[in-house]
């Protein structure tokens, strides 16, 4: 924008029980959660959050396929009982098996293994359940991993086990409610930290999944459970200690235990699809059942055609939120006296809309042909489906595509699962646009440093388009535009290298990176420009658009962090640049926040640069086109301010007084920090408690893709 006028671009805190430790959010490419949480931002270096030793470990971690090193979400991700989340056999060797003997050999071994099942394996005798030991990942190779006529057993104390991407089927012995043959797909008796994900389990003798005898820290996600009398039984204990997450499962043509959940301390069921198809031989007797003293939270699930879709015992607690019931009859219950609880006390997750669940799960559950390429990241990572596809880009032709845009173009419209565009080191001179109909896209540099991979172009607002149809305008000048929800940019540099000194005759706004969507993550990036470097908008004025920026570097001089989106700049370096003529003057932020929304939060960061002392404002209030309905907001807190920051850090814009909008600081440090005054508002402690990262992001917790 011009310095005078810009054209408008069209907690409640809870404490976990002592036996848990809440999982920490980590935002780093290919780095274990524990490693990222331990790091500290090293300003002015390219090692960012990690430091040299951690960076070396990160490189080692990325050497293994992502599916081999994937970690669980939900309760299986919680640190407890001496186990830090659930990551299976990632610390051991990866072996491929095609015979029962080899599968049993590695699954029952004492050391960790990632066991890739690459064939159909018939159990002998029928009903055999392999006794899996701790620290194992058992995963199907594409859709070829099938276990026929038996399954797996996890005994007392077995922990840190992942079972993914398998078809487990056909132990059925001809008796529907079979009391003689206890042949389950997966049975757990006293196990903990288990993740059952993306399997197709069907037509067994007794049940599909049994979680028994205080099995806890269990997550069951993205599975297809079908053709069975008993789908999923939980309990066989008088203790009320188990914690279980069940999400994004398609349960169809099953009569009972969908699941039956007995004496579970915390049962979190969300985004499941329970379907009873009319005219088939199998008729449901009930759906989700909160039994005994279970405390169940049931959210955004979809019930189609079930009899008694939701049932609870008088002694149990069941809280319902946002569920959809279509063609159901009979009991639909909730209530109880158990203590209210919030899953986000223990782990992060994001709900899909209940109305979207049937289509989402019909396409996204069960074994995935692409799961062997990249890890799945279900709702806690903010994705819509769990199987990710990786597309590689290399300018030298060694990848699938030579340009980033070509890879974006290859993403199918309305993709339900994450696509990672892995960009090899190099310089890519191109304009990249991720359209709104391609969500869940991650553009990620594959080099060791964010400096290794650069996307660069030099358009500006006042430049005429090649087809002569007018000028680009501010948003149209962007080198990279992300218009799709739940998308991410990681570990690379995005630059607009427009040369202002040679083009003072035109509007000089030159955007490096533009976002116009919700749930956007920018992590470990460098965003370079001069005027209007980083523009963050929403898809429409009445739409929410949240952006989380972490461990990054943002450079510029005039209004270079701006827009109407809800933005958190966290643990990052904001670098002030001189103007094209060598002078020092500028504004860090220019929010145009809609009223009643959050604006720009700069948190735990640094504002610095090789510019004159007292030459930069922290921000000014942008009312696009004189819009009186907006209420611009910038809060800068817990941030180191260099001497470049003015002692009166806020400035009026376009005839509007900044004092009528929302600008404040809290607990900043450095030569540019200052005491409270009429020209320098400071939050009180109580006000600051309502202006934290979680307040900005609401029900969204950003996580690594």
Catalytic residue set = 532, 559
- Distance in angstroms between the alpha carbons of the first and the last residue of the chain: 33
Q: In what order do the strands lie in the sheet with 573-576?
A: 426-429, 453-457, 493-496, 526-528, 553-556, 573-576, 606-608, 640-641
Q: Report d(CA 115, CA 106) in Å as an integer.
A: 7
Q: Report d(CA 79, CA 89) in Å as an integer.
A: 17
Beta strands 419-423 and 120-122, pairing class:
unpaired
Beta strands 79-80 and 83-84, pairing class:
antiparallel
Q: Report d(CA 252, CA 274) in Å as an integer.
A: 6
DSSP letter string, 528-546:
E-SBS-EEEE-SSTTS--E
Q: Are 136 and 164 in contact (CB under 8 A)?
A: no
Using DSSP, state whether 67 is helix, strand or coil: helix
Ramachandran region, residue 626 (left: φ > 0; alpha: ψ -120 to 50; beta: rest): left
Mark 532-568 as b/e (b = at least 16 C-beta within 10 Å): bbbbbbbbeeeebbbbbbbbbbbbbbbbbbbbbbbbb
Ramachandran region, residue 559 (left: φ > 0; alpha: ψ -120 to 50; beta: rest): left
Q: Report d(CA 162, CA 195) in Å as an integer.
A: 5
What number of residues does the chain have?
705
**In sequence order, which residues have a C-beta less than 8 Å from that of residue 685 and are 6 or more positions away?**
none
């Amino acid at each position: 924008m011009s310095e005078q006028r810009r054209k408008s671009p069209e907690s409640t805190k809870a404490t976990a029980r002592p036996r848990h430790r809440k999982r920490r959010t980590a935002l780093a490419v290919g780095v274990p959660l524990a490693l990222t949480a331990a790091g500290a931002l090293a300003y002015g270096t390219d090692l960012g959050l990690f430091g040299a030793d951690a960076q070396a470990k990160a490189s080692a971690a990325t050497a293994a396929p992502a599916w081999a090193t994937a970690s669980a979400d939900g309760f299986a991700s919680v640190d407890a009982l001496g186990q830090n989340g659930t990551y299976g056999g990632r610390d051991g060797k990866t072996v491929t098996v095609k015979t029962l003997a080899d599968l049993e050999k590695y699954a029952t071994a004492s050391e960790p293994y990632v066991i890739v099942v690459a064939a159909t394996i018939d159990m002998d005798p029928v009903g055999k359940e392999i006794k899996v030991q701790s620290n194992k990942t058992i995963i199907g190779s594409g859709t070829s991993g099938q276990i026929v006529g038996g399954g797996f057993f996890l005994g007392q104390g077995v922990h840190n086990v992942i079972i993914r991407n398998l078809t487990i089927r056909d132990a059925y012995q001809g008796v529907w409610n079979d009391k003689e043959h206890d042949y389950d797909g997966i049975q757990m008796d006293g196990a903990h930290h288990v993740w059952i994900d993306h399997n197709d389990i069907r037509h067994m003798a007794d049940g599909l999944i049994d979680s028994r005898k205080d099995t806890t820290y269990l997550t069951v996600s993205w599975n297809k459970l079908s053709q069975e009398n008993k789908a999923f039984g939980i309990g066989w204990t008088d203790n009320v200690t188990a914690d279980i997450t069940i999400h994004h499962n398609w349960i169809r043509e099953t009569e009972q235990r969908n699941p039956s959940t007995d004496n579970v301390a915390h049962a979190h069921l969300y985004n499941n699809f329970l379907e009873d198809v009319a005219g088939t031989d199998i008729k449901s007797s009930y759906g989700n059942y909160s039994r005994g003293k279970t405390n169940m939270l049931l959210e955004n699930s979809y019930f189609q055609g079930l009899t008694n879709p939701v049932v609870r015992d008088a002694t149990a607690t069941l809280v319902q939120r946002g569920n959809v019931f279509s063609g159901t009859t009979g009991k639909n219950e909730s209530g109880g006296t158990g203590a209210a609880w919030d899953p986000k006390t223990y782990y992060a997750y994001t709900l899909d809309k209940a109305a979207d669940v049937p289509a989402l799960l019909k396409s996204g559950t069960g074994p995935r042909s692409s799961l062997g390429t990249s890890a799945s990241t279900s709702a806690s990572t903010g994705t819509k489906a769990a199987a990710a596809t990786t597309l590689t880009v290399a300018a030298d032709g060694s990848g699938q595509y030579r340009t980033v845009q070509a890879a974006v173009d290859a993403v199918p419209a309305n993709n339900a699962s994450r696509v990672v565009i892995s960009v090899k080191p190099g310089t890519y001179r191109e304009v990249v646009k991720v359209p709104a109909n391609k969500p869940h896209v991650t553009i990620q540099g594959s080099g060791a440093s964010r400096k290794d991979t650069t996307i660069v172009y030099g358009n500006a607002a006042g430049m005429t388009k090649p087809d002569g149809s007018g000028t680009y305008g501010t948003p149209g000048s962007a080198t990279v535009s992300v218009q799709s929800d739940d998308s991410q940019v990681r570990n690379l540099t995005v630059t607009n290298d427009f040369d202002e000194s040679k083009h003072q005759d035109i509007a000089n706004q030159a955007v490096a990176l533009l976002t116009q969507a919700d749930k956007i993550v920018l992590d470990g990036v460098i965003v370079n420009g001069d005027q209007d470097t980083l523009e963050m908008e929403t898809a429409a004025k009445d739409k929410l658009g949240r952006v989380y920026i972490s461990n990054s570097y943002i450079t510029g001089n005039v209004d270079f962090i701006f827009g109407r989106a809800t933005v958190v700049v966290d643990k990052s370096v904001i670098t002030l640049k001189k103007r094209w003529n060598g002078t020092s003057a500028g504004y860090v932020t220019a929010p145009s926040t809609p009223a009643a929304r959050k604006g720009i939060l700069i948190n735990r960061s640094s504002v610095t640069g090789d510019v004159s002392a007292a030459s930069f404002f922290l921000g000014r209030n942008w009312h696009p086109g004189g819009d009186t309905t907006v209420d611009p907001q910038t809060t800068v807190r817990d941030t180191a301010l260099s001497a470049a920051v003015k002692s009166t850090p806020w400035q009026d814009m376009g005839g509007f007084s900044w004092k009528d909008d929302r600008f404040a600081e809290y607990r900043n440090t450095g030569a540019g920090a200052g005491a409270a005054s009429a020209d320098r508002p400071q939050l009180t402690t109580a006000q600051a408690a309502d202006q934290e990262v979680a307040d900005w992001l609401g029900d969204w917790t950003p996580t690594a893709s």
